[in-house]
Amino acid sequence: MRRFVLAARSRFLLLIALLAALLAAGCRGKKRAPRAPAAPQPGWTETGIASWYGHPYHGRPASSGEIYDMEQLTAAHRTLPFGSIVSVTNLDNGRTVTVRINDRGPFVEGRILDLSRAAARQLGILGPGTALVRLRLLGYADPEAAKAPPLFTVQAGAFADRRNAERFRQKLLKRYEPVDIAASVSSPVLYRVYVGRFGDMGEAEAAAQRLRREVKDVFVVRIR
């Protein structure tokens, strides 16, 4: 009887050891992706096409909640934190202006920045409408707020009619989750369809790439 108990105990201990080894191997095999910083460091740059916007958005709430004033030096960017202070250089004529990010956009493929009318005027792009620019991050109006953990999503569509947004949401729910609808704070209201929630910019970009195989005009957007 004693030999039976000892044998059973030995088998139990061996099983525990094997399970521990398997768990350890699994942990070693899974490499956690590095999380993106809460916000880029001053000196960060980006090059691309900028556009500008004025009426009918003037006097209406921006995505940050403040009222958009097209005669202030502000701009919309999809992923920089609100309050980012950015130097924008028009690479066609060398003019530079400093703006504060207080809105989200542009939601047009191939563009990286939407300038206020005042900022566009200083850069000399009111007439052409767009220009090739280089952004350089100078800092943040509120450095502590910029350190908050980021949260990104993927905008897969925007609709004037909520019923169309809901139909699109149901279609996406067959493959993705979560899929949410958020009404814009501006008027006229747009119903934006968001897919996923990501604390890492790289994960959001990977999800956007997958969505682009079946949906046009897909954008990564910072929502916090």
Query: Exposed (0-12), middle (13-18) or buried (19+): which is 182, by Cβ within 10 Å?
Result: middle
Tokens of 80: 């920089």
**How many Cβ atoms sit within 10 Å of the Cβ of residue 213?**
7
Does 20 fall in a domain? Answer: no
Percentage above 90 pLDDT, the chain? 77
Q: Are residues 115 and 193 in the same domain?
A: no
As a whole number, the mean pLDDT across the chain is: 86
Between the CA of residue 105 and those of 17, 58, 111, 190, what are the distances in Å?
54, 15, 9, 13
Look at the chain and report how many structural domains it folds into. 2
Q: Are residues 51 and 138 in the same domain?
A: yes
Q: Across residues 26-37, what is the average pLDDT?
A: 40
Quote the pTM value. Answer: 0.81
Q: Are residues 49 and 137 in the same domain?
A: yes
Which of 146, 167, 201 terminates a domain? The answer is 146
Note down the domain range covering 71.
Answer: 45-146
Give the DSSP H/E element, type plus range, for residue 14.
helix 2-29
CATH number of the domain bearing residue 194: 3.30.70.1070
CB 49 within 8 A of CB 130: yes
115: which strand partners?
Answer: 52, 75
Q: Lowest mean pLDDT of 10-24, 116-130, 174-188, name the range.
A: 10-24
Q: Across residues 31-41, what is the average pLDDT?
A: 57
Q: Across residues 102-109, what is the average pLDDT?
A: 96
Position 37 scores a pLDDT of 53
Position 185 scores a pLDDT of 81
